[in-house]
Amino acid sequence: MNRRFLMATAALAGLGVAAIAVPLAAQDLPPLAQKDRYKVGFAQMESNNPWRIAETKSFHDTAEECGWDLIATDAAGSAAKQVADVDSMIAQGIDVLFLPPREEKPLIPAVMKAKAAGIPTFLVDRSVDPNVAQAGRDYVAFLGSDFVDQGRRVAEWTLENFDGEKGIIVELEGTTGSSPANDRKKGFDDVMAQHDNMEIVASQSGDFARDLGRQVMETLLQAHPDVNIVYAHNDEMAIGAIQALELAGRKPGEDILVVSIDGTRDALQAIIDGKMGVTVESSPFFGPLACETMKRYAAGETIEPWVQVSDRIFTKENAADHIDEAY
């Protein structure tokens, strides 16, 4: 296998891209010609939360500047529809595919079909099962955050800032089978497992959605009335959990600590209002990075398998400084 290592560095508006050393395996990938205009597919998974809406907007905002004739679809929360949307884009003759796979396994056929059709694919923000499909072989690269590290950073902040004796933790997981849900759980749980004074008493999916987060929190609160920490895999579920807690007479920020990931406007406001402790950033603004990476690939550069985005952290110290740029 023709593997080598390289360093990649980039800095783009809205996304910090870290320098990383990674192995490359670039055989068999479909090439991309250098042209003034490209027919580009962006197969979004759903549009039921601010993060997804901001990501889709970022692709639309980038389109003209990058010479994209953009076909953007919305799979409305269905992995099967997302696969069908990619099929339709292939039939329409796209030059490049940008795909945020809703779940790790069901979207693999879409990746493989795009490759078979000679279309270079870039996974954005979520990934697929690396045991089956691999960057540098089946798709060009994954553009996104280190979700394990996000979970780890939330756990570390919680350990430093929780002032009770024993942490009774409820975890609201993201979409079952998705890479951020798997990895954010691993990052957080692994850290907490090393601390005897921290116990995760329940961990259940709220599908990254505010309303489901609220419903799941309502149910788990009845089973675990002594909960004093909520870790949500995204801000939408954290806001839903805050609603459920307040309805039950709890005081988020006073008698229970809520911690999360993303950096939405509502989460930053909740931090400013003292109801949430921290949110580790996961930026949705992928359009400029997608444009830059695609152009590097068209120019013949070997792309690192993971174009890694670096994430900030928002707390009461800096939330007010960033709320105007939030989504």
Name the site residues for ligand AHR (rule: CB under 6 A).
49, 51-52, 125-126, 180, 208, 234, 236, 261-262, 282
Give whichever of 126 and 153 is closer to ligand AHR, judged by the CB atom: 126
**Identity of the residue, 32 or 72, whose beta carbon is nearer to ligand AHR in the bound complex:** 72
Q: Which is nearer to ligand AHR, 127 or 158 (CB)?
A: 127
Amino acid occupying residue 91: A
Between CA 187 and CA 130, with CA 9 as vertex, the angle to 5 degrees is 45
User: Rounded to the nearest whole angstrom, what is the least distance from the CB of residue 324 to ligand AHR in the complex?
Assistant: 20
124 SS3 class = strand
Nearest to 146 by CA among 45, 283, 322, 263: 283
- Integer angstrom CA distances of residue 20 from 9, 23, 144, 307: 7, 10, 13, 8
Query: CA distances (Å), 272 to each of 75, 80, 155, 253, 278, in order?
Result: 34, 39, 20, 11, 10
How near is the Cβ of 179 to ligand AHR at its closest, in Å?
A: 7
Residues 6+ apart with CB under 8 A from 279: 235, 238, 259, 260, 261, 262, 263, 264, 267, 268, 271, 313, 314
Closest approach, Cβ 260 to ligand AHR, in A, equals 9
Cβ-based nearer residue to ligand AHR, 103 or 304: 103
> Smaller CB distance to ligand AHR: residue 180 or 187?
180
Longest pairwise C-alpha distance within the chain:
61
Q: Residue 188's CB: how many other CB atoms inside 10 A? A: 27
CB of 235 to ligand AHR, least distance (A): 7
The alpha carbons of the chain give a radius of gyration, in whole angstroms, of 20
What minimum distance in Å lies between the beta carbon of 237 and ligand AHR?
8
Work out how close the CB of 301 gets to ligand AHR at its nearest, in angstroms, rounded to a whole number: 26
Q: Which is nearer to ligand AHR, 38 or 42 (CB)?
A: 42
